[in-house]
């Protein structure tokens, strides 16, 4: 099916005005009657156990209502970690026992009449610990290492051929170590939870990228029927993965509200967000690339280490992506997890691709210099239309990587680049240009949706998908408006509520593909009913017309030059509304995928998993400037060209990709959660010390859409692009800095002290 033209329009967001006027109610904005306010107290040590909690001072604070600790609130039931079939972001259960697993673990929840009283009381809780020496990070004493292939049921290290021999024999080689730091999402909206009970039923208002996951997970933790739990999350003030799985705070707040018989609202602090939720863990990589003198890749090997907590095997294992990226002659990979005394990491925008593509694309750039070859040409020589593994030569459904490179290079002015490092300069500033490949797997999940249409030409679309700032209301509305022949403002879209049919997790850039697949199916069922009524009627202008000739447009049923109002078809049917509830299960998933969706379990098809490879691609070009005397690094411009199938809404897509590139610049130059290695505690857990760019740091960021049609991926031919934009940027910046200075920084972020030796 051709992608409908109208859905490609750059329509403004349906919720734009609400968001800029304060009309959008984020979960902690939702008013509840007579709330009590909660604050958390968290641990100041990373490993050990609580010897005593002294609550006298806290209890003396006027307005104090309750304090939950492991001593009085250990009734929450364990559920599985999400990769072990549950919904939990971590296996660590903070109030279940005195054991401390990581810095900033929740040790108490204080509830009071006011936020101020709760905050004061939380500060007055005194905890004595029996401390044990903690393990901070990869390479620290006490860290334990496991191969992911040994501990994961899903992951197999990709590889084929004899990569060691091919590397040994290759005339041109790169063998380098790269690392990425700990990073935290720091969404503007803090981690909040409001819980209220009524007649044994629980309502949770919490920003969530997966309300059905939260509903089912909380129900299991509290020993409830999931039907008695409702989760509402109509707007989310930034998530980036951090609100994708169920953290421990939710059930604790629910328990507090139950004990008190009164709604309880928690708004955690910025520093607590570093430890009560998830983060992107630090990674280390050893990449070996071997090539012949023409640049043909003979060998690629990649061993990686990823940090995780003591109990959980969280890993991103991005070699499943990198191993299919180029036409390698042989591949060997191995991914390891390193357990330390840290909170469990989790999804963060493009979880596997950001660290692994940084390593690969940096090595590719190094190889291009070793070959004295244009880095774009190196990618062209090794471009592939299929999995390079000759034992499994799966084709890409579409791959427009080199068209992205060519369009981005032209817009950037790449042909004016002087290839030698340190050869471009503007006064005291060294100038460098770099580029890298961006990619992201195209994934799709099961989804259910309800769509209704009334004779007056209003449609209502209901699906528990999520608006995390991406424009989901708008794009989902556009899909329905297109199929029902309505203007967008005649479509009411409801999202983010478990009272609605289950939608997919807002993760893996699958929402547009998954939700629209269900919505198109529902709309088509409505169309079918209307058309049958109009054509099957013995009266009216459309009577007897072939159904295939009918369409919906402008609020009417049309066939060529003749049309009838919607009201006529409803009259023939003797109905005042049509409502369709549909379930959509994408090809490639097991038969129970839909049932799992209702139970809050994630299943994604596509990407590198199926019979064909499904990916979106991009090429990113960056100019870096480094001061020749003091080493400051600035990125005045970036150009990205992206091919992601049909673009539903170029306006929201542009923002997604531009925002991704800005984040990529941020990650390359600024972001790092610093860890005090002695105590395994985060040091810069605030937005003054965890640096992100300010407006003055970001100047020109150009986004180019490269046209692409892919009829195999999903009904509308869309590839998710929410996570595409920040994949290539880290390497593009690092490669540009090398070109400017001649110094290769392989450990992110690139800060001026690392460049001082070169300037």
Partner 1 sequence: MRPFIYHRATSDSAALQTVIGGAAPRDQPPTSARAQFIAGGTTMLDLMKLDVMRPSEVIDINRIAGLDQVEKTPDGLRLGALARMADVARHPLLADYPVIAQSLTLAASPQLRNMATLGGNVLQRTRCTYFRDPSWKACNKRDPGSGCAALDGFNRSHAVLGVSDHCIATYPGDFAQALIALDALVEIRRQGGERVLAFADLHRKPGDRPDIETALAPDELIAAFRVPAAPWTRRSLYLKIRDRQSYEFALASAAVALDLAGDGAVRQARIALGGVATVPWRAREAEAALVGHKVADDVAQRAAEIAFRDAQPRRRNAFKVELGRRALQRALLETASLEI
- The residue range among 195-203, 260-268, 321-329, 749-757 that interacts with partner 1, by the rule CB under 8 A, is 749-757
Instruction: Decide if residue 116 touches partner 1 (CB under 8 A).
Output: yes
Phi, psi of 655, deg, nearest 5 = -60, -40
Q: Residues 6, 258, 492, 634: which binds partner 1 (CB under 8 A)?
A: 634
The nearer residue to partner 1, 238 or 636, going by C-beta atoms, is 636
Residue 462: count of CB within 10 angstroms of its CB: 23
Structure tokens that stand for 626 in this block = 């480094």
Q: Segment 253-272, which members bind partner 1 (CB under 8 A)?
A: 271
Instruction: Decide if residue 131 touches partner 1 (CB under 8 A).
Output: no
Residue 735: its H or E element: helix 729-741
Distance in Å, CB of 44 to partner 1, minimum: 4
Beta strands 429-441 and 425-426 are antiparallel
Distance in Å, CB of 114 to partner 1, minimum: 11
Please give the Cα distance from 175 to 273 (Å, whole number): 37
The nearer residue to partner 1, 1 or 694, going by C-beta atoms, is 694
Of the residues 120, 620, 723, 753, only one is catalytic, namely 723
Distance in Å, CB of 52 to partner 1, minimum: 16
Instruction: Decide if residue 128 touches partner 1 (CB under 8 A).
Output: no
- The residue range among 321-329, 394-402, 686-694, 730-738 that interacts with partner 1, by the rule CB under 8 A, is 686-694
Residue 539: count of CB within 10 angstroms of its CB: 10
CA atoms within 13 A on the CB side of 705: 21
Give how far the C-alpha of residue 598 lies from the chain's centroid of Cα atoms, to the nearest Å.
21
The answer to whether the beta carbons of residues 447 and 517 sit under 8 Å apart is: yes
Please give the Cα distance from 190 to 201 (Å, whole number): 26
Instruction: Decide if residue 751 touches partner 1 (CB under 8 A).
Output: yes
Instruction: Decide if residue 31 touches partner 1 (CB under 8 A).
Output: no
Instruction: Decide if residue 386 touches partner 1 (CB under 8 A).
Output: no
The nearer residue to partner 1, 67 or 254, going by C-beta atoms, is 67
Handedness of CA 652, 654, 659, 664 (dihedral sign): positive
Q: Segment 641-670, which members bind partner 1 (CB under 8 A)?
A: 669-670
Dihedral angle computed from the Cα positions of residues 96, 100, 105 and 109, in that order, rounded to the nearest 10 degrees: 40
The nearer residue to partner 1, 83 or 686, going by C-beta atoms, is 686
Instruction: Decide if residue 696 touches partner 1 (CB under 8 A).
Output: yes
Q: Residues 610, 691, 711, 744: which binds partner 1 (CB under 8 A)?
A: 691
Instruction: Decide if residue 132 touches partner 1 (CB under 8 A).
Output: no
Instruction: Decide if residue 524 touches partner 1 (CB under 8 A).
Output: no
Distance in Å, CB of 130 to partner 1, minimum: 15
- In the three-class reduction of DSSP (H, G, I as helix; E, B as strand; rest coil), residue 376 is classed as helix
Q: Residues 187, 631, 645, 660: which binds partner 1 (CB under 8 A)?
A: 631
Distance in Å, CB of 696 to partner 1, minimum: 4
Structure tokens that stand for 507 in this block = 């993760």
The answer to whether the beta carbons of residues 723 and 653 sit under 8 Å apart is: no
The nearer residue to partner 1, 119 or 245, going by C-beta atoms, is 119
- The residue range among 117-125, 171-179, 393-401, 500-508 that interacts with partner 1, by the rule CB under 8 A, is 117-125
Instruction: Decide if residue 747 touches partner 1 (CB under 8 A).
Output: no
Q: What is the CA radius of gyration of the chain?
A: 27
Instruction: Decide if residue 629 touches partner 1 (CB under 8 A).
Output: yes
Give how far the C-alpha of residue 522 lies from the chain's centroid of Cα atoms, to the nearest Å.
27
DSSP states of 658-692: HHHHHHHHHHHHT----EETTTTEES--STTTS--
Please give the Cα distance from 701 to 692 (Å, whole number): 16
- In the three-class reduction of DSSP (H, G, I as helix; E, B as strand; rest coil), residue 360 is classed as helix
Give how far the C-alpha of residue 149 lies from the chain's centroid of Cα atoms, to the nearest Å.
24
Q: Residues 84, 499, 632, 709: which binds partner 1 (CB under 8 A)?
A: 632
Give how far the C-alpha of residue 112 lies from the chain's centroid of Cα atoms, to the nearest Å.
35
Q: Segment 338-367, which members bind partner 1 (CB under 8 A)?
A: none
Distance in Å, CB of 629 to partner 1, minimum: 5
Residues across the chain: 759
Query: Is 723 considered catalytic here?
Result: yes
Instruction: Decide if residue 689 touches partner 1 (CB under 8 A).
Output: yes
Instruction: Decide if residue 676 touches partner 1 (CB under 8 A).
Output: yes
Beta strands (DSSP E) in 487-602 are 491-494, 551-553, 556-559, 562-565, 578-584
Structure tokens that stand for 451 in this block = 């769509």
Beta strands 297-308 and 283-291 are antiparallel
Please report where in the chains the tokens 């290695």 appear, as a residue: 677
Q: How many binding residues for partner 1 (CB under 8 A)?
A: 34
Instruction: Decide if residue 177 touches partner 1 (CB under 8 A).
Output: no
Q: Residues 162, 292, 697, 702: which binds partner 1 (CB under 8 A)?
A: 697
- The residue range among 105-113, 118-126, 340-348, 431-439 that interacts with partner 1, by the rule CB under 8 A, is 118-126
Distance in Å, CB of 56 to partner 1, minimum: 16
Q: Residues 54, 84, 587, 678: which binds partner 1 (CB under 8 A)?
A: 678
Dihedral angle computed from the Cα positions of residues 376, 378, 379 and 385, in that order, rounded to the nearest 10 degrees: 140
Beta strands 605-606 and 443-444 are antiparallel
Distance in Å, CB of 129 to partner 1, minimum: 11
Distance in Å, CB of 76 to partner 1, minimum: 25
Q: Segment 42-71, which members bind partner 1 (CB under 8 A)?
A: 44
Instruction: Decide if residue 120 touches partner 1 (CB under 8 A).
Output: yes
Q: How far apart are the first and last CA of the chain?
A: 56
The nearer residue to partner 1, 123 or 575, going by C-beta atoms, is 123
CA distances (Å), origin 454, targets 483, 567, 574, 579: 15, 8, 12, 9
The answer to whether the beta carbons of residues 304 and 294 sit under 8 Å apart is: no
The nearer residue to partner 1, 123 or 452, going by C-beta atoms, is 123
Distance in Å, CB of 605 to partner 1, minimum: 41
Structure tokens that stand for 464 in this block = 């528990």
User: Which amino acids are annotated catalytic?
Assistant: 723
Q: Which residues of this protein are in contact with partner 1, per CB under 8 A?
A: 44, 116, 119-120, 123, 271, 629-632, 634, 669-670, 674-676, 678, 681, 683-686, 688-689, 691, 693-697, 751-753, 756
């Amino acid at each position: 099916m051709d992608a409908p033209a109208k859905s490609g329009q750059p329509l403004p967001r349906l919720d734009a005005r609400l968001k800029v006027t304060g009309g959008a109610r984020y979960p902690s904005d939702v008013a509840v009657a007579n709330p009590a306010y909660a604050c958390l107290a968290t641990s100041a040590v990373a490993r050990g156990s609580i010897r005593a909690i002294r609550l006298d001072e806290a209890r003396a604070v006027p307005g104090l209502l309750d304090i939950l600790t492991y001593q009085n609130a250990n009734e929450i039931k364990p559920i599985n970690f999400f990769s072990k079939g549950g919904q939990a972001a971590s296996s660590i259960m903070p109030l279940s026992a005195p054991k401390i697993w990581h810095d900033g673990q929740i040790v108490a929840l204080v509830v009071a009449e006011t936020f101020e009283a709760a905050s004061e009381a939380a500060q007055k809780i005194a905890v004595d610990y029996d401390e044990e020496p903690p393990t901070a990070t990869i390479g620290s004493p006490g860290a334990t290492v496991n191969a992911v292939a040994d501990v994961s049921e899903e992951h197999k290290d990709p590889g084929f051929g004899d990569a060691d021999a091919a590397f040994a024999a290759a005339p041109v080689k790169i063998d380098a170590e790269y690392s990425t730091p700990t990073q935290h999402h720091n969404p503007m909206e803090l981690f909040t939870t409001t819980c209220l009970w009524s007649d044994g039923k629980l309502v949770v208002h919490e920003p969530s990228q997966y309300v059905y996951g939260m509903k089912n997970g909380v129900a299991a933790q509290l020993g409830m029927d999931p039907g008695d739990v409702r989760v509402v999350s109509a707007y989310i003030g930034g998530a980036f993965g951090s609100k994708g799985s169920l953290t421990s705070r939710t059930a604790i707040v629910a328990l507090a509200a139950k004990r008190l018989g009164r709604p309880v609202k928690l708004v955690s602090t910025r520093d607590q967000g570093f430890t009560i939720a998830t983060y992107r863990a630090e990674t280390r990589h050893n990449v070996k690339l071997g090539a012949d003198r023409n640049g043909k890749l003979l060998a690629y090997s990649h061993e990686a280490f990823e940090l995780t907590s003591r109990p959980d095997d969280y890993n991103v294992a991005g070699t499943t992506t990198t191993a299919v990226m180029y036409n390698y002659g042989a591949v060997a990979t191995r991914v390891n997890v390193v357990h330390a005394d840290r909170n469990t990491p989790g999804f963060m925008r493009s979880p596997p691709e950001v660290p692994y593509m940084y390593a690969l694309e940096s090595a590719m750039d190094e190889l291009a210099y070793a070959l004295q070859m244009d880095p774009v040409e190196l990618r062209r020589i090794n471009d592939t239309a299929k999995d390079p593994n000759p034992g499994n030569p799966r084709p890409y459904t579409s791959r427009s990587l080199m068209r992205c490179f060519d369009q981005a290079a032209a817009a950037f002015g790449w042909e004016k680049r002087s290839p030698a490092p340190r050869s471009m300069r503007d006064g005291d500033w060294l100038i460098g240009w770099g580029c890298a490949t961006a990619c992201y797997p195209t994934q799709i999940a099961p989804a259910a949706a309800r769509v209704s249409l009334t004779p007056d030409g209003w449609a209502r679309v209901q699906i528990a998908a999520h608006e995390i700032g991406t424009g989901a209301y708008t794009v989902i509305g556009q899909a329905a408006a297109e199929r029902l022949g309505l203007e967008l403002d005649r479509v009411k879209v409801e999202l983010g509520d478990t009272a609605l049919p289950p939608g997919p997790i807002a993760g893996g850039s699958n929402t547009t593909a998954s939700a629209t697949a269900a919505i198109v199916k529902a709309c088509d069922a409505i169309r079918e009913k209307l058309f049958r009524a109009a054509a099957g009627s013995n009266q009216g202008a459309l009577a007897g017309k072939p159904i295939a000739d009918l369409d919906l447009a402008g609020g009417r049923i049309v066939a060529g030059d003749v049309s009838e109002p919607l009201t006529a078809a409803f009259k023939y049917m003797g109905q005042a509304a049509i409502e369709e509830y549909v379930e959509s299960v994408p090809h490639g998933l097991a038969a129970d995928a839909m049932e799992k969706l209702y139970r809050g379990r994630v299943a994604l098809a596509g990407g590198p998993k199926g019979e064909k490879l499904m990916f979106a691609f991009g090429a990113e070009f960056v100019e870096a400037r480094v001061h020749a005397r003091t080493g400051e690094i600035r990125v005045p411009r970036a150009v990205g060209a992206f091919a992601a199938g049909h673009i539903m809404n170029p306006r929201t897509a542009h923002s997604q990709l531009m925002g991704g590139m800005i984040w990529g610049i941020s990650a390359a130059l600024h972001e790092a959660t610093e860890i005090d290695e002695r105590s395994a505690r985060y040091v810069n857990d605030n937005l003054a010390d965890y640096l992100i760019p300010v407006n003055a740091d970001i100047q020109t960021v150009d986004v180019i859409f490269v046209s692409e049609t892919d009829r195999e991926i999903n009904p509308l031919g869309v590839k998710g692009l929410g996570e595409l934009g920040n994949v290539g940027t880290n390497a593009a910046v690092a490669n540009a800095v090398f070109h400017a200075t001649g110094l290769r920084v392989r450990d992110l972020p690139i800060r001026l002290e690392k460049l001082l030796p070169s300037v």
